[in-house]
Every structure is written in C-alpha cells, then in structure tokens.
Structure 1
Amino acid sequence: MSAMRGAAAYGRGASAYAKVGVESAVMSASPHQLIVMLFDGALAAIRTARIHLEGGNVAEKGKAISKALDIVNNGLLAALDAERGGEIAERLASLYDYVARLLLSANRHDDVESLNQAEALLTDVASAWREIDGQASAG
C-alpha cells in the first residue's frame, strides 16, 4: 500500500513538474512560438487519438479528439487576425474549420483516415509556420 501511495505521489509530482515546464515555456515564448506550441499540441492529441482508436478505447479517443478540437478552434482559429491577415487568415480559417470537421467525423465514425488527413493538413501548415520563424531568425 505504501509503494502505491509513493508511486501516486511520484506521478503527481512529475505531472506538476511537467506543467510548470510547459507554463514556463509559454510565459517565455514569442507569439510565433506560441502558435508552434498549439500546432504541436494539436498534432500530439491527434496521434494520441489514433492510438486509442486503434486500441478500441473509445472514451480516451474522444478525450484526445476533443483536446485537438479545442486547440484548433480556441487556439489556432482564435489567433487569426482577419483584419491584418486578410486573405491568408481567411484561408487558414477555412482550413481550420475543415480540420475540425475531419476530427468530428473521425470521432463519430471511428475513422482513422479522417485523423490522418487532419494530421497531414496541420503538419503542412505547422511546417510552413516553423519555416517562417527560421527565416525571421536568420534575417
């Protein structure tokens, strides 16, 4: 019983430490880096959803897809500036809406292909976003 409590305490401690690490990274990140972190979080949630979908764990699949949806809708989509971003922001909004629909379909129909497509689209945009940051740093 004591070993169980020790393991649980270690798990809580490790989780708290990881949370502090993430919070520190967020606090010190540039706006560009924050968007990269959103992409990373959405992609990680999609990969987690795929693992749970393939393992038949419906509840955890749903949680992971909900997390990815939250990041896409309340992070990436909400960060768009339609005034300053113009047509690019408009196109990204449409893309994020499509990704959200893919995620909903994946959840509703246990569709791995929809997850794969959502992941591929976000990976492409994230890659371009990282490239922009690399060019800005080099310039």
Structure 2
Amino acid sequence: MYASPLRGDPAAIYRQVDVSSRVQSASPHRLIQLLYEDLDVALRQAAFAIEKKQFEIKSARITKALAILFALEAGLDFTKGGDVAETLSRLYRGARSEVTGAGVSGDAEALRVVAANLAEIAAAWRQIEQQQRAAA
C-alpha cells in the first residue's frame, strides 16, 4: 500500500507547504518581507499570550521572534550595506534586548511597541521591492 509522507494535522501540513512555496518563489527582498511578517505575528501573538497567561505560547513566540531577529542580522551585508547595515544591526540588537526584557517582565505592550517600530522598516523593504519590480 502507498504510504503518504504527508501525515498528521492537515492545517500543519498546509502551513508547511504554504511557507515552502512562498520561500521558493521569493526574491531576496520578498524573503526579508516574509521574515518581517512572521516577526510581527510572533510579537503580537506573544503579547496576546502574556495577557491571556498562556506562558508556553508566549515562550514559543518570543523564541521565534528572537530567532527571526538573529536571522535578519545575520543576513546583513556590512561590506555593501555600510552605514545602513550597521544601523540595522544596532536596531536588531536593541529589538532583541527589548523582546527578551518584555518576555521576562511580561510586558505585552513593550512587544507591541517593538512590532510597531519594526513595521516601519518592513514598509521600507516593501517599497524597495515595489521599486525594483517597477524598474524591471
């Protein structure tokens, strides 16, 4: 009998396939946008989990947000990016510090502030991609 490798929770399988297809077809700028989108969701879910005293979910979402911030910083090209890369690196380090502190203290609003601040950077990445598509 044929055994499907896609077993388990159908929603989890869909999410895995959806993420895989979004990543495979994405430009470098779009990949960064996807990271920012996932970061925003993780931060807002962590804030909600704090308010609802869902500590396991809070911990998982904060861990995901921190991993994304590390990934964003690791992807910086300091040779080509110069001052912009340095500024983004400082921003990501500061955001990690804020997220960690908010997670320890249970400050949901601080997580929302970090999400809002990073949303401005995410908007700039969207604008860069739109300009590149228009130029192509």
Which of 103, 116, 120 is equivalent to 1:120? Answer: 116
Alignment RMSD, CA only? 1.6
1:52-71 aligned within 5 A:
52-71=49-68
Matched residue SS, 2:9: helix
Q: Is residue 2:27 matched to residue 1:30?
A: yes
The TM-score with structure 1 as length reference comes to 0.88
Q: Distance in 2 between matches of 1:17 and 1:109?
A: 35
Where do 5+ consecutive residues of structure 1 fail to align? 1-9
1:1-139 aligned within 5 A:
12-73=9-70, 75-139=71-135
Q: Distance in 1 between matches of 2:121 and 2:92?
A: 10
Q: Deviations over 1:84-123 (max 9, x none)?
A: 1000000000000001011001101001232022111210
Name the structure, 1 or 2, with higher relative contact order (CA <8 Å, separation 6+). Answer: 2
- The alignment of Structure 1 onto Structure 2 pairs a total of residues equal to 130
Moved over 2 A (4+): none
Following superposition, the deviation at residue 17 of structure 1 comes to: 2.0
The letter for the 2-side match of 1:31 is P
Where do 5+ consecutive residues of structure 2 fail to align? 1-6
Q: Deviations over 1:34-58 (max 9, x none)?
A: 0000000110101110110110111
Q: 1:21 to 1:129 in 2, by over 3 A?
A: same
Q: Distance in 2 between matches of 1:21 and 1:117?
A: 29
